[in-house]
Amino acid sequence: TSQIEKRGFQAEVKQLLHLMIHSLYSNREIFLRELVSNASDACDKLRFEALDNGALFENDSELKIRVSFDKASRTVTISDNGIGMNRDEAIAHLGTIAKSGTKEFFSRLSGDKQADANLIGQFGVGFYSAFIVADKVTVLTRRAGDAADAGVKWECSMAGDEAGEYSVAQYTKAIRGTDIILHLREGEDDLLSGWKLRSIIRKYSDHIVQPIVMQKEEWDQEKAENVVKDEEETVNQANALWTRSKNDISEDDYKAFYKHVSHDYEDPVAWSHAKVEGRHEYTQLLYVPKRAPFDLYDRTPRHGLKLYVRRVFIMDDAEKLLPHYLRFVRGVVDSADLPLNVSREILQESKDVDTIRGGCTKKVLGLLEDLADNRKEDYAAFWTEFGRVLKEGLGEDHANKDKIAGLLRFASTHLDSPEESVSLKDYIGRMKEGQEKIYYVTAESFNAAKNSPHLEVFRKKGIEVLLLSDRIDEWAVGYLPEFEGKQIVSVAKGDLDLGSLEDEAEKKKVEEQAEEFKPLLEKVKTSLGDKVKEVRVTHRLTDSPACLVVDEHEMGANLARLLKAAGQ
């Protein structure tokens, strides 16, 4: 009776659909994981909205997800009684990609199927993975609290491998929530099996908090096949992983749960699961990913942990739960003390949250220390991905400065390779007899640092110098005047005081030469005028005739150059 309206997809969606079908087929099972994950999100959203408005439950507060199949019509259906969608929401969420970074997504596609599959979840485009196995998808949905006839039927069918549009129509749906009906492509019939679907669910979605139910099956001798019974059973564990005792959780459980919270397809590098008791009680499950997410350096990166209060999901990306420089960490915090109606604004001011954040920060830094001490290769890989972000912590987190400093890795004249593998501890262990300070040089590139004329005297004396060439390095070391009682100084600043490494005879020679060359020095000073403050004789150089140095307390030349380039 009602109008069926045809609507065009956003151009990016078309591109995405093409990608799903042509590139991701080898990972086809992920469709179920993504759709179950959406169903679970929809249940979480309903539970959260119902905190303020119990009527949304419509007298049915038992949230669950149902997976079923129908051999005759060749369909697989994923249903939930979660929040549902109204017409506008269906159009906005299923016809466009609202997330920022869609362009970035396409530009990051490499053609490597595994890596590309990895990106889907991160970019929030999981729904479209339905088209990996289906050539037609029907969505029947009604938002919780709306009248039965305010439901929506959304449908999209692929002609060949292309889809340019979808349809929306009014639909009457007695039960709130969403049914996603997949009309399978040719050749996907193995999915029309309870055994197959159960095994995919257990593999990818075991940790989903809501029960995932399927109809029971029983072997029928006469028909010599499994027949579907009227009774339902729960297929997954259906409890929150972090609430279980550590002894009952396998490595694989932890990894699968990580993939769920992070939308990453790769295993995490390390994790920490702890229940914290005392004045504030909370459970934390924190993961360090293997690879940096695409938005790590965006102005507003996805950041923070999933927050639960007594197992009720409250929000994603609760950024107050971790400092900015640990924004790559993923995981869950479940607080026993925060109010259920906690909002982002309340989190801003909450002392409880400060305590949780302090605890989470310590845990993550401890996890990284452990990695650095015991799994050096993994730590090196971590450093390559996240080292730059960790350095930001020197400026941001004064309380943990020493811990962060211990985690830093540098290139140095010891290896003369751009690989950043030298820790400050390594450096101190190699310090020359009589050496009191840690020396570094900053430059625009590794090669410029390595070839800096400032290094000449250090090379001659065999003193190691850290070679810093990252943009943020000079700013970062500015927050680190010392480490384990050793001053950290630039070789390009002030009077080069090598302390007891200084050769008395050499020092004397320089003094004599300063006297001898006084007229020359004055001449150079006069001709350079205001461009320099002082011209002096030095023993810093062995091969180069001259170099520039800045005063002890002035900004380094490299930082000055950066600020100038930034228009400051």
List residues near ligand ADP by CB under 6 A: 34, 38-39, 41-42, 80, 82-85, 93-94, 124-127, 178
Of 80 and 188, CB closest to ligand ADP: 80
Which of positions 284-343 make contact with Mg ion (CB under 5 A)?
none
Residue recorded with tokens 């090669």: 447
Instruction: Please pick, from the candidates 23, 38, 284, 335, the single residue that binds Mg ion as defined by CB under 5 A.
Output: 38
Measured between its terminal Cα atoms, the distance across the chain in Å is: 66
Query: Is the separation of the CB atoms in 464 and 427 below 8 Å?
Result: yes
Query: Which residue in the shown chain puts its C-beta closest to Mg ion?
Result: 126
Of 126 and 359, the one with the shorter C-beta distance to ligand ADP is: 126
CB 65 within 8 A of CB 43: yes
If phi > 0 it is left, if psi is from -120 to 50 it is alpha, else beta; for residue 58 that is left
Contact in structure between 44 and 8 (CB atoms under 8 Å): no
Integer Cα distance of 8 and 173 in angstroms: 25
Biggest alpha carbon distance in the chain? 113
| Comparison of 41 and 402: residue with beta carbon closer to ligand ADP | 41
Q: CB of 319: closest distance to ligand ADP in angstroms?
A: 18
The nearer residue to ligand ADP, 77 or 538, going by C-beta atoms, is: 77
Binding span for Mg ion by CB under 5 A among 123-131, 132-140, 495-503, 509-517: 123-131
Q: Which CB sits closer to ligand ADP, 263 or 273?
A: 263
Q: Beta partners for 284?
A: 274, 333
Task: Choose the binding region for Mg ion from 32-40, 284-292, 404-412, 526-534 (rule: CB under 5 A).
Answer: 32-40
Cβ 471 to ligand ADP shortest distance, Å: 32
* DSSP per-residue string spanning 224-277: TEEEEEEEEEE-S--S-GGGS-GGG--HHHHHHHHHHHH--SSPPSEEEEEEE-
What, of ligand ADP, Mg ion, none, does residue 83 touch, CB below 5 to 8 Å by kind? ligand ADP
Separation between Cα atoms, residue 547 and residue 448, nearest integer Å = 14
Query: H or E element: which one contains 366?
Result: helix 351-374
Q: Which helix (H) or strand (E) holds 537?
A: none
Interacting residues of 390 by C-beta distance below 8 A, sequence separation 6+: 325, 368, 383, 404, 407, 408
Q: Is 456 helix (H, G, I), strand (E, B) or coil?
A: helix
> Shortest approach of ligand ADP to residue 320 CB, angstroms?
22
Q: Helix or strand or coil: residue 376?
A: helix
List the single partner that 42 binds among ligand ADP, Mg ion, none, CB under 5 to 8 Å by kind: ligand ADP
Q: At its nearest, how many Å lie between ligand ADP and the CB of residue 478?
A: 39
Closest approach of Mg ion to the CB of residue 34, in Å: 5
Q: In the complex, what is the shortest distance from the CB of residue 179 to ligand ADP, in angstroms, rounded to a whole number?
A: 9
In the list ligand ADP, Mg ion, none, the entry touching 125 (Cβ below 5 to 8 angstroms by class) is ligand ADP
For residues 40 and 412, which CB has a smaller minimum distance to ligand ADP in the complex? 40
Report what 453 binds from ligand ADP, Mg ion, none; CB cut-off 5-8 Å by kind.
Answer: none
Q: How far apart are CA 362 and CA 375, in angstroms?
A: 19
C-beta closer to ligand ADP: residue 69 or 154 = 154
Interaction partner, residue 80 (Mg ion, ligand ADP, none; CB < 5-8 Å by kind): ligand ADP
Closer CB to ligand ADP, 16 or 463, in the complex: 16
Residues 524, 536 contacting (CB under 8 angstroms): no
Nearer to ligand ADP, 101 or 268 (CB): 101
Q: Which does 489 bind (CB under 5 to 8 A by kind): ligand ADP, Mg ion, none?
A: none
Number of residues that bind Mg ion (CB under 5 A): 2
Beta bridge partners of 282: 276, 335
Write down the least CB distance from residue 322 to ligand ADP, Å: 21
* Closest distance of CB 310 from ligand ADP, Å: 24
| Least gap, CB of 146 to ligand ADP (angstroms) | 13
Contact range with Mg ion by CB under 5 A, out of 38-46, 493-501, 523-531, 534-542: 38-46
Decide: is 126 part of the binding site for Mg ion (CB under 5 A).
yes
In the complex with ligand ADP, the residue whose CB is nearer, 178 or 452, is: 178
Q: Collect all residues with Cβ–Cβ distance below 8 Å to 177 and sequence separation of at least 6.
A: 42, 79, 80, 81, 82, 83, 84, 141, 142, 144
Which of 47/260 has CB closer to Mg ion?
Answer: 260
Residue 93: CB minimum distance to ligand ADP, A: 3
Confirm if 138 and 90 have CB atoms less than 8 A apart. Answer: no
**What six digits make up the tokens of 408?**
């830093």
Residue 359 contact, options ligand ADP, Mg ion, none, Cβ 5-8 Å cut-off depending on partner type: none
Nearer to Mg ion, 118 or 423 (CB): 118
- Nearest Cα to Cα of residue 362 among 482, 293, 274: 274
Alpha-carbon distance of 95 to 167, in angstroms, equals: 10
Question: Is residue 467 a contact partner of residue 440, using CB atoms and an 8 Å limit?
Answer: yes
Candidates 33-41, 308-316, 386-394, 554-562; binding stretch for Mg ion (CB under 5 A): 33-41
Q: For Mg ion, which stretch binds (CB under 5 A), given 36-44, 84-92, 239-247, 409-417? A: 36-44
The listed partner (Mg ion, ligand ADP, none) that binds 323, CB under 5 to 8 Å by sort, is none
> Cβ closer to Mg ion: 122 or 452?
122
CB of 169 to ligand ADP, least distance (A): 18
153 touches 139 (CB < 8 A): yes
Q: Give CA separation, 206 vs 28, 271, 477, 545, in Å.
A: 18, 19, 46, 69
Minimum Å gap between C-beta 439 and ligand ADP is 48
Beta bridge mates, 178: 80, 141
Q: Write out the residues near Mg ion by the rule CB under 5 A.
A: 38, 126
